[in-house]
Chain A
Amino acid sequence: MKESEIYEKMKKAIIEGNKDESERLAKEALEKKMDLLKVIEKGYVQGIQRVGELWEKGEYFLPELIASAECMKGAMNIFEPEIKRAKIKTKFLGKIIIGTVEGDIHDIGKNLVAAMLVANGFEVIDLGADVKLEKFVQKAEEMDADFICLSALLTTTMLGQKRIIEIIKEKSIRDKFKILVGGAPVNQKWADDIGANGYAENAMAAVRVAQALIEKKK
C-alpha cells in the first residue's frame, strides 16, 4: 500500500471516530518505520481538521468531536515512546495551562476543551479542578506557557478569572500570556470586561480562538 493511501485511511479513521482502526494504523506506521511527523501531519491532523469543519457545518456534534479527539489521543500515545526515543521534534501550536478556578469542582467542560486542544495540536497542561489562582500563574511562568485557559461554572467562582488577570497585571507579566475564559455563566461581555484575550462557548470554539490568537502572534 502506498503511503498516501495509509494517510487517507488514518484521516478516515479520525473522521469516523474509529479508535481501533486509528490505533491499528498507528502501530502499522511504527512497524513500517514511516516518518512519524509526516504520518501525524498528513494523516491524523488532516482528519481532525476535517472533523472541525464538519462540526462548523453542523454535520457533527460534540460526541463526534470527542470520539475523534479520543482516536487522535490513542494514536499519539502509540507514537509517544518512539517520538521520545528518536528525539523527534514535534511541533505544537502553543503551550496551554488549563484548569477550573478555585472553589469550583466542575471539570467536564474543561476536560473536553483540553481534549480538543490536544487533538488540534496544542500542548496542554491540565491542572484539574478547584485550582488555586496563584497556581495558574506560577505554572504558566514555570512552563513558559502561551495561554492560560480558565473555566468557571458558577457566578461565584467566575470572579476568580478576573482575579487571575489582576494578579498577572500586578506582577507586570500581563503581556506574556493570552487569557481565555469559558464556562456556563461566562460570555463575551464578561471576557471583555475583565480584559481576557478570548472567550469560547464550547470546545471547538476554544480551539478556533486559540488558533486565531496564535496566528496573530506570528
Chain B
Amino acid sequence: MTKNVKTIKEFKIEFDEKRIGWHIGYKKRSAEIEKSIKKMIKQEKKRLNNLLRPAAIYRILDYEETNKHAVFQNAEKVVLCICSIGSKLEEESARLMKEDEMLRGLVLDALGSEAVEKVAIQSERIIGQEAKKMDLWPSKRFSPGFGKWDIREQQFIFRMLPAQDIGVKLRESFMMVPRKSISFRINLFRDQNMEKKQ
C-alpha cells in the first residue's frame, strides 16, 4: 500500500481577491466587491494561518498496478493524488453560520475552496516535475465524477492511497471528508502526443 507514496506539506497559498469574489457570488466580470465585504475578506485571510492544514499525498503506479479503467489507457504510469486543507476551516465556517454570521462563514468557505485549489495546482506542478525526471509527459489532472471517470472510482483512489495519513476519509456517497479536499489522476505518457490527446 505504501509503495511509492509521497506526501507534500509545504505549500505557498496566496489569494486573488477577484477569485474569492467569484466564489462568494460576484459572478459577473464587471461586479465590484463591496467595500465592507473586501474588508471582511481581509480579516478572514488573517485568520487562515490557524485554520489551514494543507497536505497532499500521491502515488505513482505502473499501468499494470491500476484497475485498467479506460481512462488510464496508453499511460505508462498513473499518478493518483489527494489534496486537502484539513477540517479546521470548515468547522470554523460552520460555527460562524450557526451563530448567524452567515456572510463571514461564506467568505471563509470561499477562502477554503480557493486554498484547496491552490494545493491541487501546486501538487500537480510537483508531480509534473517528477514526471519530467522520468522522461514522461504528464496529462492534465482529472477528478472522479468528470468525463468518463465515474465518481465511484473514488474507491479505487482511496484503495491505492493511505488517505488517512493526511486526515481524509471517503464517505459512502463517495464524498470526501474534510469537504475541502480534491482527488485526481494524472496519466504519464512516454509519447508527448498522447498527453495532448488527453
Contact (Cβ within 8 A) B179 A73: no
Bound: A5/B106 CA distance, A: 33
Bound: A104/B172 CA distance, A: 10
Contact (Cβ within 8 A) A104 B93: no
Looking at A61-69, A78-86, A90-98, A209-217, the stretch in contact with chain B turns out to be A61-69
Which residues of the other chain, B, contact A115 by a CB distance below 8 angstroms? 102
Contact (Cβ within 8 A) B24 A62: yes
CB-CB under 8 A for A108 and B93, given A154-B173, A155-B145, A156-B151: yes
Bound: A70/B37 CA distance, A: 14
Which residues of the other chain, B, contact A77 by a CB distance below 8 angstroms? 100
Bound: A146/B17 CA distance, A: 41
Which residues of the other chain, A, contact B151 by a CB distance below 8 angstroms? 154-156
Bound: A64/B33 CA distance, A: 10
Bound: A176/B58 CA distance, A: 51
User: How many residue-residue contacts, CB under 8 A, span A and B?
Assistant: 73
Contact (Cβ within 8 A) A74 B100: yes
CB-CB under 8 A for A67 and B103, given A61-B25, A61-B26: yes
Bound: A155/B109 CA distance, A: 21
Which residues of the other chain, B, contact A154 by a CB distance below 8 angstroms? 151, 173-175
Which residues of the other chain, B, contact A103 by a CB distance below 8 angstroms? 171-173, 175
Nearest chain B residue, comparing its CB with the CB of A17: B36
Contact (Cβ within 8 A) A70 B103: yes
Tell me the smallest distance from the CB of A119 to a CB of chain B, in Å: 10
Which residues of the other chain, B, contact A73 by a CB distance below 8 angstroms? 100
Asked whether B31 is an interface residue with its Cβ less than 8 Å from the other chain, the reply is yes
Within 8 A of B (CB), among A28-45: none
Asked whether A197 is an interface residue with its Cβ less than 8 Å from the other chain, the reply is no
Asked whether B28 is an interface residue with its Cβ less than 8 Å from the other chain, the reply is yes
Which residues of the other chain, A, contact B93 by a CB distance below 8 angstroms? 108
What are 16 A-B residue pairs whose CB atoms fall within 8 Å in the complex? A58-B28, A61-B26, A63-B25, A70-B101, A73-B100, A103-B171, A103-B172, A103-B175, A104-B173, A106-B179, A107-B94, A108-B97, A111-B105, A154-B175, A156-B173, A157-B173
> 9 shortest A-B CB distances, which residue pairs?
A62-B25, A103-B173, A66-B103, A156-B173, A61-B25, A63-B37, A66-B102, A61-B26, A111-B97
Residues of B within 8 A of A (CB): 24-28, 31, 33-34, 36-37, 93-94, 97, 100-103, 105-107, 109, 145, 151, 171-175, 177, 179
